[in-house]
Amino acid sequence: MKGKPIRVLIAKPGLDGHDRGAKVVAKALAETGMEVIYTGIRQTIEGIVNTAIQEDVDAIGLSSLAGAHNTLFPRIIDILKKSEMQDVIIFAGGIIPHDDAKKLKEYGVAEIFGPGCNTRDIIAFVQKAVQKS
């Protein structure tokens, strides 16, 4: 990879305690040379945004398996915009129904990856999305 490495924050907002998928994605991204910061489980919205700002990330991957994605993801996007970080790529994964995914994409989530997706697809998405921004 030429230039500075892509910096990605992988975050688990809310009370969801299931993080196996987030850890798999974090490891896959790191193995390509990206710098990955993993927040751990049960993170606050403000904590995620503050970490994104402090770490000067290019992308944020949000994971939700607890059904709170329609509340948490838009709030994160709103705070990022107010913090002048609207150029950060937001992608998501987890159990997100099709209708919810459509609404989240309209709100600003660039891509949503469901259970069983290939990590190569996530890697390719992040590389291409960050390169475009």
pTM: 0.94
**pLDDT at residue number 1:** 44
How many C-beta neighbours within 10 Å does residue 114 have? 14
Tell me, yes or no, whether 86 lies in a domain: yes
Write b or e for each residue in 31-58: b if 16 or more Cβ atoms lie within 10 A of its Cβ, otherwise e.
ebebebbbbebebebeebbebbbeeebb
Bridge partners (DSSP) of residue 57 are none
Tell me, yes or no, whether 17 lies in a domain: yes
CATH of the domain at 30: 3.40.50.280
* Structural domain containing residue 60: 7-132
Tell me, yes or no, whether 2 lies in a domain: no
Mean pLDDT in consecutive groups of 10 residues from the start of the chain, 133 residues: 86 88 96 97 94 97 92 96 93 95 97 95 98 87
**pLDDT at residue number 104:** 98
Contacts of 67 (CB under 8 A, 6+ apart): 95
Q: Name the residue type at position 119.
A: T
Residue showing tokens 């329609």: 70
User: What is the domain count for the chain?
Assistant: 1
Asked if 9 and 59 touch (Cβ cutoff 8 Å), the reply is yes
Tell me, yes or no, whether 1 lies in a domain: no
